[in-house]
């Protein structure tokens, strides 16, 4: 897929394909990349793995929902606009709270299971509410 994007350019893709590409990039960079020598990344318990993926899937589904819904209204969104609107709140988040898609991997793997589940459920709810404000 990356080779095709490099060949035709990102602008040639449809908006739903741009959403897929953006989410695939987040999965590659934030979910799959690990560092066995770091305190937060040497181990990833199942509740953390599930929670991280839940948030990434929620983000992907919200992107597609906004793209589809905006086509029915006068105010049309593109992936560039979506990413700009949610960059600080959803993608970057608060580094200290680790509530952004780019900072969720920094959560300590020793965190209690119930706390992990609550954190990621809250994060998924935050993602949904941020996107609901756009509609």
User: What's the pTM?
Assistant: 0.90
Is residue 2 assigned to a domain?
A: no
Q: Is residue 77 part of a domain?
A: yes
In this prediction, residue 36 carries a pLDDT of 82
Mean pLDDT of the residues in the chain? 90
Q: State the total domains in the chain.
A: 1
The percentage of residues in the chain with a pLDDT greater than 70, rounded to a whole number, is 93
Residue 69 lies in a domain: yes
Q: Which own/partner contact pairs does 49-55 have at CB distance under 8 Å and 24+ positions apart?
A: 50/120, 51/104, 51/116, 51/117, 51/119, 51/120, 51/121, 51/123, 52/104, 52/105, 52/120, 54/120, 54/121, 54/124, 55/101, 55/104, 55/120, 55/123, 55/124, 55/127
Give me the domain span that covers residue 90.
Answer: 14-134
Helix (H) or strand (E) holding 120: helix 113-134
In a domain, 3, yes or no: no
CATH number at residue 96: 1.10.1140.10
**Whether residue 107 has pLDDT greater than 90:** yes
Q: Report if residue 120 sits inside a domain.
A: yes
User: Is the pLDDT at 3 greater than 70, yes or no?
Assistant: no
> Does residue 7 fall inside a structural domain?
no
Task: Confirm whether 36 is domain-assigned.
Answer: yes
């Amino acid at each position: 897929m990356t080779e095709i994007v490099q060949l035709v350019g990102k602008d040639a893709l449809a908006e739903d394909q741009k959403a897929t590409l953006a989410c695939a990039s987040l999965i590659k960079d934030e979910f799959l990349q690990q560092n066995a020598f770091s305190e937060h990344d040497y181990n990833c318990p199942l509740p953390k793995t599930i929670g991280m993926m839940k948030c990434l899937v929620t983000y992907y589904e919200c992107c597609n929902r906004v793209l589809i819904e905006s086509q029915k209204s006068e105010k049309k969104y593109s992936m560039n606009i979506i990413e700009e609107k949610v960059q600080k709140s959803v993608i970057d988040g608060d580094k200290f709270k680790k509530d952004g898609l780019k900072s969720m991997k920094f959560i300590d793997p020793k965190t209690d299971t119930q706390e992990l589940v609550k954190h990621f459920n809250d994060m998924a709810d935050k993602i949904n509410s941020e996107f609901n404000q756009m509609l």
